[in-house]
Chain A
């Protein structure tokens, strides 16, 4: 008999522990079906949430071996094969308050979702009585973002959120703002972007965990980038975020290479860079990461343009102002 073991992180409101459950292997189970087997045959005190069991309601998201996924949409065989083990570690999704075991609390997440000002605020020519007009091409710009099922996998894996959630929002909140900001039916896309600017739009760490973990193939990091572009196009060019982006662009356009020495002062301003980054700079010099001559040269002149820089410039300029 082949035995499968789930080590499940338990929490009863007071005490946290990890409990092992074993069951006989059967082909064709999903991870969610395995959880029901345990709850109904072994331990009724195990708590988790599930509703549609077909990857459209988002209720059942958990972490398996540290990776957020939908257990209803994950075959046990595939999980065992992926980890080359008959033992899996199950935990609640991260960056959520845990209620009990694998069950998390969404209450505060909904409050944070309100900052995206969800819901269409339609252009003047449209009314509730007549509806709207939108071309298939315009719909195509936002339809991927509408696949969001609010499962929380993106928030679970978000490194920025784990570090500090006070000045950042869950990736799905950005995706929600983006789908209205870029909707051709919207009167003013910036209505949804403005609050994102004050809630960490430029603080995404670009780790792309939200993109790689979304079970619906949505790219919240891409939505963040698109809203940054929209914000810049609307004149929101001040602050370290926009300046950092502009510095990147300038370097790439000029030489095709990043000038790391100039990047920091351009992003943070000379005074802040000189005062707050000096220790770091000196340590880099001391450890031989950079030489004084290299630094001086880069600061006074620049990198030499790479071979084929004209081609790169063409690419950059053809991108123009993002939508």
Chain B
């Protein structure tokens, strides 16, 4: 431990000082983390748009989230401006969901001789969205996606190549042409690191391990954010002329039944909700049919594509009941519903959240499995202790993507209804994906909306006056009080139990099959869970590196977002895209060709709607 102690000699006094500060009853003084202050004092252009009138840490553009969208936003907020920009990240920047994307990045490149067109990408996206996508946004998106592929190539992304040196493209489900640009089976990883490298090279500043607690709104305008430095425990207001939320999705509401990382807890969406913005189409959550039974990590479609069988507890290839022609190659939603039906009707294995069916690859033979599906075999060994060469693997559907998000009102700048507050990437709803996202459109959306948000926020910040500080200071004080109160509780239920109960409630009531009764029960349970949450035990009173408190806040955010989703799902009495209502199995364009908007009014969750933008593609039945 000598190395720790060596390090600590220098920081001991600082930590002691901070601990003392945090313990003080804070009246009007503001504790600014000295480390942060020192870091940012060196940042060029900190006061480019006017000197700060107080000691409050101030940026022109503050970006929350360092995944694909946040990094793109940062580069573009700095480009051709002298604005001070910082990227806030709950973790080290490269830990985001972006790095887990495998398949690729859709963008039409229109090489000579190709039949593909922007119009075709537009249509496929609209149809994929089950007509809930806004068509003006989608037209804008596909054009910018095409540009973004070439630009990220220029930035260094190691795309796979054709023999003549062009970016290679593959087919993905739901597309008429191969337009998914890729880097092996780890496109998201390659793209994220190319963007991270580019941002690091461009001098982007990072506030690492800083958790977003709230965005501040004063006189109707966004004035910054309250952040918690996870290292020191210091809760500090950070003033900003513009804030971009790029915090990713909220599929962790299903906790262990999602493919996304632990950090996909919708923090930005929840903060926007508290700030008064509507949460758009929260009920639209995509499920992938195959994730490992324990922990939800994706078993990619390659397993079925290469001939894997899905089996129930009778050893039957049950897909013959649901898609006799396509069998295991049926589309994602049909396969996911088939798996859940088998489990529900008693033909699965295990019980409750532990239930599963099997995927069997044994007939492919060891050689083929080792050569073509080594990663899938590895995942099987890791999570289920199962070698697919010898045994079938336990799998179940897994929540995969959040189509819903923060309501964006101007898709050109990614502005929300609150001046100064922008949203990009999976946490934003523009809406590109509507009720169902096509494979390869998520990385594209992150790249496009991140860039445009960066440009939009910079243009806004350059003209915005210095924001007020009263709300920021008040919120920071509230959060300091909250930290002290919540972490000092010695009774109450362990909050992680609430998280696990939430996941089960949602999986049962708002999962792949939804009904009036199930959704009403889920809403009721969520209300109870929220009550218990308020007095639940965090279990760690410490300031330094307190990851228990980090997670406690995440669970609170997820409970709130889950209530929005359940409310919108309950009232959307139709089936569209990922939203399957057993009691309303048909799409209902007369009543529900519109976006759900859930807002928080005091403690009440209020549902409203807004129309979908239809241009040249008239809604028709979505069949493939």
Tell me the A residues contacting B by CB distance below 8 Å: 9, 11-14, 16, 27-28, 30, 33, 39-40, 43-45, 47-54, 56-59, 72-73, 75, 77, 94, 97-101, 103, 105-107, 110, 113-114, 117-120, 122, 126-136, 138-139, 142-143, 146-150, 176, 180, 183, 185
11 contacts between A and B (CB under 8 A): A12-B542, A14-B15, A40-B494, A48-B547, A57-B96, A75-B385, A99-B231, A119-B194, A120-B156, A128-B155, A135-B161
B200 and A28 contacting across the interface, CB-CB below 8 Å:
no
A22→B145 CA distance, assembly (Å)? 51
Within 8 A of A (CB), among B95-116: 95-97, 99-100
Select B95's contact among A33, A51, A117, A138, beta carbons within 8 Å: A51
Q: In whole Å, how far is A105's beta carbon from the nearest beta carbon of chain B?
A: 6
Instruction: Decide if B610 is an interface residue (CB 8 Å cutoff).
Output: no
- From B50-58, B185-193, B477-485, the one touching the partner chain is B185-193
Are A131 and B154 also in contact (CB < 8 A) when A51-B262, A57-B95 are? yes
How many residues in B have their beta carbons less than 8 Å from beta carbons of A? 83
B547 and A49 contacting across the interface, CB-CB below 8 Å:
yes
B295 and A53 contacting across the interface, CB-CB below 8 Å:
yes
Tell me the B residues contacting A by CB distance below 8 Å: 1, 3-5, 7-8, 11-12, 15-16, 19, 39, 91-97, 99-100, 147, 149-151, 153-156, 158-167, 183-184, 186, 189-190, 193-194, 196-203, 206, 208-209, 230-231, 261-263, 294-295, 297, 379, 381-385, 494, 496, 538-540, 542-548
Are A75 and B151 also in contact (CB < 8 A) when A16-B5, A50-B262, A52-B95 are? no
A103's closest neighbor in chain B, by CB? B545
B545 and A118 contacting across the interface, CB-CB below 8 Å:
no
Are A136 and B163 also in contact (CB < 8 A) when A16-B1, A103-B547 are? yes
Residues of A near B295 (CB, < 8 A) are: 33, 53
A114 and B154 contacting across the interface, CB-CB below 8 Å:
no
A138→B165 CA distance, assembly (Å)? 9
B166's closest neighbor in chain A, by CB? A133
Are A118 and B3 also in contact (CB < 8 A) when A53-B295, A56-B189, A139-B160 are? no
A11's closest neighbor in chain B, by CB? B4
Q: In whole Å, how far is A95's beta carbon from the nearest beta carbon of chain B?
A: 8
Identify the 6 closest CB pairs spanning chains A and B, nearest first: A100-B545, A44-B539, A120-B156, A28-B385, A119-B201, A13-B544
B100 and A54 contacting across the interface, CB-CB below 8 Å:
yes
Are A101 and B95 also in contact (CB < 8 A) when A53-B262, A136-B160, A136-B163 are? no
Q: In whole Å, how far is A169's beta carbon from the nearest beta carbon of chain B?
A: 14
Q: In whole Å, how far is A133's beta carbon from the nearest beta carbon of chain B?
A: 4
Are A44 and B540 also in contact (CB < 8 A) when A28-B384, A28-B385 are? yes
Residues of A near B196 (CB, < 8 A) are: 118
A129 and B545 contacting across the interface, CB-CB below 8 Å:
no
Other CB < 8 Å A-B pairs besides A28-B383, A49-B91, A143-B184, 5 of them?
Answer: A28-B384, A54-B379, A119-B197, A131-B149, A183-B156
Are A105 and B385 also in contact (CB < 8 A) when A57-B261, A118-B197 are? no
Residues of A near B297 (CB, < 8 A) are: 53-54
Residues of A near B546 (CB, < 8 A) are: 47, 100
Residues of B near A176 (CB, < 8 A) are: 197
A51 and B263 contacting across the interface, CB-CB below 8 Å:
yes
Select B193's contact among A77, A148, A185, beta carbons within 8 Å: A148
> Interface centre among B97, B154, B155, B166, by most A CB within 10 Å?
B154
Are A58 and B543 also in contact (CB < 8 A) when A16-B1, A134-B161 are? no
A50→B19 CA distance, assembly (Å)? 26
> Interface centre among A11, A139, A146, by most B CB within 10 Å?
A146
B261 and A119 contacting across the interface, CB-CB below 8 Å:
no
B92 and A106 contacting across the interface, CB-CB below 8 Å:
yes
